Amino acid sequence: MLIFSKAKLVLFSVPKTGTTALESVLAPHAAIALRDPPELKHSPVYRYNRFLRPMVEKFIGDDVETIAVVREPVSWLGSWYRYRQRPFLSGRAVSTEGLSFAEFVEGYLAPERPAFANVGAQSKFVEPRPNGTAITRLFKYEALDLCIQHLEARLELKIDLPKVNVSPRRDLALPAALEARLKAACAEDFALWASIA
């Protein structure tokens, strides 16, 4: 998460949506860069509302724009699956080594998700709070250039985005029946992504 005081802007870091690349470029320009531990870097709206919003409103103002990037849900899960294939996770409960993408998705749909598939949901990450705290501008990962253009205008700087945190390529094809189950179970995530202009 990056907080820009002069621009009155907060950039949320939804996991697996290209925000690590954005942070690598924009962190030097931020008043506050929450990059570690992951629980702070990837603070969802509910955590921001509880711990960070009061400080932001007191010292920056209550008219802060909040921005987040959301990814098409199958692609988002595919990125998690590929990321957890990396050798440094080998032997850990979160590793997807030796699993197909379909097995990963089955785990994600299980009533009790195994550690390797326990990755949350984008819709929960950006879910508005009862007090009105919400993301004011959502961008699609698949049209990240629009987010970059917006940030360039707001921050008055040129952004040359590097490729960082790129996961290895894998087959992400799903059987039609499994994809249908995923779309039904994660309807909020698919609706969220589809709602972004």
- pTM recorded for the entire structure: 0.94
Secondary-structure breakdown of the chain: helix, strand, coil percentages, each rounded to the nearest 5 = 50, 10, 45
132 Rama sector, left if φ>0, alpha if ψ -120 to 50, beta otherwise: left
* Separation of alpha carbons 183 and 178, rounded Å: 9
Kindly give the confidence (pLDDT) of every residue in the chain, 197 residues in length, as a single tens digit, with 9 standing for 90 and above: 999 999 999 999 999 999 989 999 999 999 999 999 999 999 999 999 999 999 999 999 999 999 999 999 999 999 999 999 999 999 999 999 999 999 999 999 999 999 999 999 999 999 999 999 999 999 999 999 999 999 999 999 999 987 766 666 778 999 999 999 999 999 999 999 999 98
Strand 2-4 relative to strand 65-70, pairing: unpaired
Cβ neighbours, 10 Å, residue 26? 19
